[in-house]
Amino acid sequence: MSVQSYFLSQFNTAPTFSAIAPGRLEFIGNHLDYNGGPVLGSAIDRYVTVAISPRDDNRVVLVSEAQSERVEATLDGIVPLKGAASWGNYPLGMFSVMRDAGLRATHGFNLAVANDLPIGAGLSSSAAIELASGYALSALYGFPVDRKSIAILGRAAENTFVGMPCGILDQGCSSFGKAGALVLIDCTKNEFSTRPMPVGTHFWVFNTQKKHALIDSFYATRNKECMESAAILKSANPALANLSVATEAEVEAAADALGPVRHKRALHVVRETARVLDTLEALVAGDTARVGKNLTASHESSRTLFENSCEELDFLVGLVTALPGVFGARLSGGGFGGAVMALTDGTFTAAAADRLAAAYAAKFGKPPAIFHTRTGDGAALLKN
Ligand code: GLA
């Protein structure tokens, strides 16, 4: 159902504005964003759409096709929610950070969400809801945003309202994505640009549908370990801007001070940064085989140094990289479950993906969800 029809069915009136935002894939640059590194990702051609209209009172009512819980709040009582209502934290978080940034609301709103982007598939449906809600709210209240400010607001909503200490990868890709392109983000300067996707390549995504129960605390722990590592390296080199610009020699010289765990995390960050830079060169040179090698090496580093992989992800990467037509594969996103992304040529078929899914199911009892996706365009307000 279109978001307009869904809105009508829920609120008995047509929406005033609607907006769209895509999911994303992390191409390479695992856990580099909050370390100030360069990351490459892309928007994909699966979207969240949001429709909105004003209310006469000071209430906020949120509905989602994908959620059973209707969320209600008042303008003076916008606080993070728990349990089944917590999906509402993405639109509410956007509203909250936009109001902090100067949006003035004298009346409430009705908002409806429709998804053709699967939730919990490692494709960042949360960033997509944030950006689509952000564009809808911007139109409704006459609060100007652009591609950059909305990505920054989306990250702020995650950090300060949802409570997830993420970087800007997800929101940056959903905002700046372009069909046929990868998104490059310099996470120190918050600079966004695009690079052409290697010609003739495809994305295949295998989602384990496994989400570690402690995923949020694992992510926060990695973030903390990286910040501590940066502080330790900075005591030796006060000019160091962040962990991603440290050299491997600096990390080795500080091995004792770092201790074994932070030493591994820091090595991952500096080597992964080098891999992103090498991937950029390989893309310019049209050397897709080298791009693919970097993808698989990135996974290996996540597995052994950053320790954010799991048996299911490792199994999928091992299987898929042994198949013809596959340039490389890696876990895409936070890790501890979630999805593997493979970069393939046009000879990789759905039949090969199905065989892989069967081998996975024989080992883990349940097949992974398979998506053959393409790069897509970034978030935008829709013409009603
Ligand atoms: C999640 C976060 C991103 C990024 C990746 C790991 O997707 O939301 O900000 O840190 O994990 O690279």
DSSP 105: -
pLDDT of residue 214: 64
Model confidence, pTM: 0.96
For atom 2 of ligand 1, the residue with the nearest CA is 166
Mean pLDDT over 301-325 rounds to 97
Both tokens of residue 68?
């059973």
Q: Could you tell me if 136 and 50 are in contact, meaning their C-beta atoms sit under 8 angstroms apart?
A: yes
Which of 169, 221, 222, 306 is the best mutation target for the ligand 1 pocket, counting ligand atoms within 8 Å of the beta carbon and taking the most? 169
Question: pLDDT exceeding 70 applies to what percent of the chain?
Answer: 99
Residue identifier of the C-alpha nearest atom 4 of ligand 1? 31
Helix count and strand count (H, E) for the chain? 11, 12
pLDDT tens across 230-284, in order? 999 999 999 999 999 999 999 999 999 999 999 999 999 999 999 999 999 999 9
Q: How many CB atoms lie within 10 A of CB 143?
A: 18
Which residues lie with the beta carbon below 6 Å from any ligand 1 atom? Answer: 26, 30-31, 33-34, 166-167, 169-170, 333-334
pLDDT per residue over 142-182, tens digit each? 999 999 999 999 999 999 999 999 999 999 999 999 999 99
Give me the domains of the chain, ranges plus CATH numbers: 3-198 (3.30.230.10), 202-373 (3.30.70.890)
pLDDT in tens, 50-84: 999 999 999 999 999 999 999 999 999 999 999 99
Q: Is 25 helix (H, G, I), strand (E, B) or coil?
A: strand
* Protein residue closest via CA to atom 1 of ligand 1: 334
